[in-house]
Amino acid sequence: MTNQATKRRVIFHIDMNCFYASVEMAYNPKLKGRPVAIAGNPEERRGIVVTSSYEARAKGVKTTMNLWEAKKLCPELIVLRPNFERYRTASREIFKMLSEITPFVQPVSIDEGYMDVTESKGMGTPLDIAANLQKRIARELDLPCSIGIAPNKFLAKMASDMKKPMGITVLRKREMPSMLWPLPIEEMYGVGGKTATKLKGIGIETIGDLARGNVYELKQILGINGERLKNRANGVDQRPVDPDAVYEFKSIGNSKTLPQDTTDETEIRALMHYLAENVARRLKRKQAVGRSIQVMIRYHDRKTITRSKKLRNYIESKEDILIIANELLQKHWNLEPIRLLGITVQDVEEKQNIAQQLDLFSYEKVAGKEKLYKTINELSEKYGKNPFISWNTTNTDNQSPSTSFQKDFLDDFKR
């Protein structure tokens, strides 16, 4: 890592193009060249476009667009439900290829990651390495990707967005005034819609304007993030490519949109059970516990509230999560129709980092629960779900995108 820090770094950002749609096209070549969208259940409101092919995008189809709207713009649109296991398998193969080039690989989502190739000697120039990697992914997996090459992570990320699909772009600091600064501020990585609006309110319309902006004024409207963004706009980013970053997590959550806005307590209760079970399953997978529970409620008018409760002890079981989550829901739900619910466990720590303090009064209770949870988990593994659940919570993991999938795939790189 010393050489990483002291030498002039060469960082790649690998960005798979239209990843879910591209995987489906590789699986079924008849889809190539046709407008394809990956979406949830078309009969329900979860029918939202997750990603689409470039042919569909040319017709105006965009991510997060409702399916009915997408089909109106593109009547010949081919709609496929997500196959997450297929995408996970493809992602694993991609990151294996990256790891054969350098040990400094940092996955950041299922379809993108960073590489530090500063020390990758004997493999040619950075352009050679990038071109060979791009060709290999296309040849062996039939998947397109774009690669950004730069001296740091921020510039590499910006570079990979500049030429799609199958682009390779080099962005050096001396090229920033011509390649980066003229871009609209909303195209800068790390600047969302609300931040862009605030920046435009003080006359910052381009990335160049931000690079020249007044630090004090930026801090006034954006806090410490104002200075950070100004530094990035000037090409300053010291963050290393960190393979261990996949181990860092402070919260684990799951949210889901209801088929229709509802005040039906039976339906809401069933969804709360489903969410708590998903979060508990992910905690178990990560061998983690948490001591704060947050509930998110989005109403029919899209107004969203989050409410949380800090606990004295760490928890991990579905039952414990559900008790607190239901308490928060009952306390803060205003009885208006609910559109979306979410449960998040915060202040998460890995079990191996915690020595639980059990006193004489709690030991027997905790030990007894452990046996019960172990039995339930064994039966769940055997039958595919908790056999003690009588309510109707259909598992739609293979049908509709969940907020957990993009993060959960990172577990594959910890083994």
Active site positions, annotated = 112
CB 205 within 8 A of CB 164: no
* DSSP SS3 for 397: coil
Pairing of strands 145-150, 288-299: unpaired
What gap in Å lies between CA 116 and CA 11, rounded to an integer? 5
What gap in Å lies between CA 26 and CA 30, rounded to an integer? 9
What gap in Å lies between CA 400 and CA 149, rounded to an integer? 34
Nearest to 386 by CA among 284, 299, 292, 238: 284
What gap in Å lies between CA 103 and CA 246, rounded to an integer? 14
Residue ranges of the binding site for Mg(2+): 15, 111
Nearest to 12 by CA among 151, 141, 128: 151
CB 126 within 8 A of CB 10: yes
Nearest to 116 by CA among 240, 261, 283: 240
How many other CB atoms sit within 10 Å of the CB of residue 240?
A: 17
Reduced 3-state DSSP string for 135-201: HHHHHHHCCCEEEEEECCHHHHHHHHCCCCCCCEEECCHHHHHHHCCCCEHHHCCCCCHHHHHHHHH
* DSSP SS3 for 253: strand
* DSSP SS3 for 28: coil
DSSP 387: T
Q: What are phi and psi of 389, to 5 degrees?
A: -90, 125
**Burial class of 213 by CB neighbour count within 10 A (0 to 12, 13 to 18, 19+):** buried
CB 183 within 8 A of CB 210: no
How many other CB atoms sit within 10 Å of the CB of residue 304?
A: 12
